[in-house]
Structure 1
Amino acid sequence: MTPRRWAVSLRWIAGKLGAAIGVVWLVGTLVFFALRATGDPLEAILGGPGSQAGEEAVQAAIDRYALDEPLVVQYLLQLRDIATLQFGDSYSRRLPVMDLLAAHLPSTLLLAVLALALAWALTVAGALVQAVARGRLGALVRAGLRSVEVVASVAPQFWFGAVLIMVFASSLGWLPATSASSDPASLVLPVVTLAVPIAGFLSQVSHDALDDADAAPFATTARARGAGEMRVLLRHTLRHASLPAISLSGWAFGSLLSGAVVVEVLFARPGLGRLLQEAALARDVPVVIGAVVIVALLYVAVVIATDALELLVDPRLRRRPQSLRAPDVAVGA
């Protein structure tokens, strides 16, 4: 690697790290002041309204969480804790926040990863159908696909999940309505609930890009050489069509993590989303801040990974040392 490429790579890494720090700082700041605005944290620490805590317990809580300090000092102390990932103990559960996060995070990550994989599978399947659909019947199929994509992308997750429960759990009895057990079947409905709206959005983006690539000179040249439609799709146009969807996969993963709050509550599934919802209702500041910061870090990590994946999929980004980003033009054969 040339010195110039090293410099570009270092600037890219520094930019991503700076963005990560900025996101974590902004998230931590917003959550801190939002929770402080909802009421006195001392009340939440001592067990809520009507607590019969004695003076010694009250003073111990004030000293432990520096509640007698000015709000700015409390904020700076919180930033220090965020920087070191030391979130303290949960107000309500009296357990270290990091232990709670470590216990609940794997379940949510499994749900989000499976949902993203299913969303991509549905997106690719839709692209294959679009590619082989020709003639008048093909036009009807493509129009139907577009309609399904639009409906799927705007369907509220809580409504869609409730419909799946009524149909496949209550009426047909094929799948469990809750996801609290270790049975793999209990993952099906939550994963589908999360995946379908994301698949609808990714499919709309990739199908528009697929239409552009299908009319590009490199696709026309491949057909002139005798390549069939499926070969053109798999070797040429699909790579181009996947670029916008890949760049949006980081956003999609963040959306899946936020959607996990609704889905985990709806399906009674233990996870980070449900933990966050319960902590927010209890004004459990350390847990809320810890969960939100961890989600923000995961989101930034996935965005960086998708940027790196774009470099692998699109060779133009590797051939241009002046920038690791290239204009959105067709990818050749």
Structure 2
Amino acid sequence: MSGVVGARRADARGWGPLLRGLLLRLAGAVFVLWAAATLTFFGLRLIPGDPAQALLGGPGSQASAEALAQVRAENGLDQPLILQYLAQLGRLATGDLGTSYAQKNSVLSIIGSQIGGTLLLAVLALAVAWLIALGLALWATRGGRIAAAVGSGLEIVAAAVPHFWLALVLVLIFSTTLRWLPAVSTSGPAGLVLPVLTLAIPLAGFLGQVIRESVLDALAAPFTLSARARGETENGIRWRHVLRHGALPGIALSGWAFGWLISGAVVVETVFARPGLGRTLLNAVQLRDVPLVVGVVLVVALGYVLVTVLTDGASRLADPRERAA
């Protein structure tokens, strides 16, 4: 009887840290969303110019004072800034992202129509970046000093390449010179190749550096020596033991990489004329469309939080030490 009671108490004590962890994650997610909405709202207000004039087409529209006053009243821009901010937070708290100033449509519907293309681009770019990074890391750690030096140099160069410059180079090579791929993104698979490579190559440089260092540490670890003593082949050591250990920093970095890919999509979707959240966000910022900008930023922030949770779970699955903890 006492054993059963003790087991129940142990289970109760085990649920305590789990609930505390879930509450901390929930509080962290709420804080991230609040900070993203707040910084975006006030950041847009720092852009020079009148938001009402931007909604009417900019300074070149020559809008009358009556038209400007009407636009301010319709969109609440005639209220003090703090009241506009509180009203925005109140709507967001109820799940209402508002209506786009410029498009006169629901922000949620606009985001829903654009998010699929950006997510597809980001997921494909992340997968390609992982393939490139793993290939470089394994080749650099097995090919000797020359391969290590070349692989390290390629990783540094790839990580330092700006998306805009890389996109232009890829278009010049594969579209203008070789004529293999379209310069403008199309609906078919061929239209995804250049945008995905533009996002994947710089990310592969970052991932390759951390994975290569972790692989080198794993090759010198005691569990590798034990595997060799048991007669394990080099290929078996690398694929069964070293690769899993070496991938852990890359998995942890993938949560950050998601937000980085979404920010890079602003440039990539603009260069390749590809519809998505990136171009939508850029156009909304230019028009000072506060509800749409805040809505896109919140969706990206929420996606970042979810991906961080998923990468944390993947790290626990890949690392027995974290599962035991």
Q: TM-score, normalised by structure 1?
A: 0.89
Q: Secondary structure at the match of 1:2?
A: helix
Q: CA RMSD in A?
A: 1.7
Tell me the residue number matched to 1:323: none
Amino acid at match of 1:8: P
Gaps of 5+ in 1: 321-333
Q: Percent identity?
A: 49
Tell me the residue number matched to 1:35: 44
Tell me the residue number matched to 2:22: 13
Q: 1:131 to 1:5 in 2, by over 3 A?
A: farther
Amino acid at match of 2:199: L
Whether the aligned pair in 2 keeps the contact of 1:131 and 1:233 (CA below 8 Å) is no
Tell me the residue number matched to 2:174: 168
Amino acid at match of 1:170: T
Gaps of 5+ in 2: 1-9
| CA shift digits 1:167-224 (9 cap, x unpaired) | 0000000011111x21110100000010011111111001101111100111001011
Give distance in 2, aligned partners of 1:51 and 1:102: 34
Give distance in 2, aligned partners of 1:122 and 1:284: 38
Amino acid at match of 1:227: E
**Larger relative helix fraction:** 2
Tell me the residue number matched to 2:93: 83
Q: Which residue among 130, 139, 146 is the counterpart of 1:129?
A: 139
Tell me the residue number matched to 1:328: none
Amino acid at match of 2:241: H
Amino acid at match of 2:35: L
Tell me the residue number matched to 2:314: 309
Give distance in 1, aligned partners of 2:155 and 2:179: 27
Tell me the residue number matched to 1:154: 160
Amino acid at match of 2:108: M
Q: Secondary structure at the match of 2:91?
A: helix
Whether the aligned pair in 1 keeps the contact of 2:53 and 2:63 (CA below 8 Å) is no
Q: 1:53 to 1:94 in 2, by over 3 A?
A: farther
Shift of 1:283: 1.1
Structural mapping, 1:224-239, within 5 Å: 224-239=229-244
Whether the aligned pair in 2 keeps the contact of 1:24 and 1:293 (CA below 8 Å) is yes
Amino acid at match of 2:39: L
Whether the aligned pair in 2 keeps the contact of 1:243 and 1:313 (CA below 8 Å) is yes
| CA shift digits 1:6-26 (9 cap, x unpaired) | 222222221221111111111
Pick which of 275-284 and 33-42 moved more. Answer: 33-42
Give distance in 2, aligned partners of 1:26 and 1:299: 13
Tell me the residue number matched to 1:139: 145
| CA shift digits 1:302-330 (9 cap, x unpaired) | 1111111111111211222xxxxxxxxxx
Give distance in 2, aligned partners of 1:71 and 1:273: 27
Q: Secondary structure at the match of 1:42?
A: helix
Tell me the residue number matched to 1:93: 103
Tell me the residue number matched to 1:331: none
Give aligned pairs, total: 314
Whether the aligned pair in 1 keeps the contact of 2:141 and 2:148 (CA below 8 Å) is no
Q: Secondary structure at the match of 1:305?
A: helix
Q: TM-score, normalised by structure 2?
A: 0.91
Pick which of 185-194 and 33-42 moved more. Answer: 33-42
Q: Does 1:26 align with 2:35?
A: yes
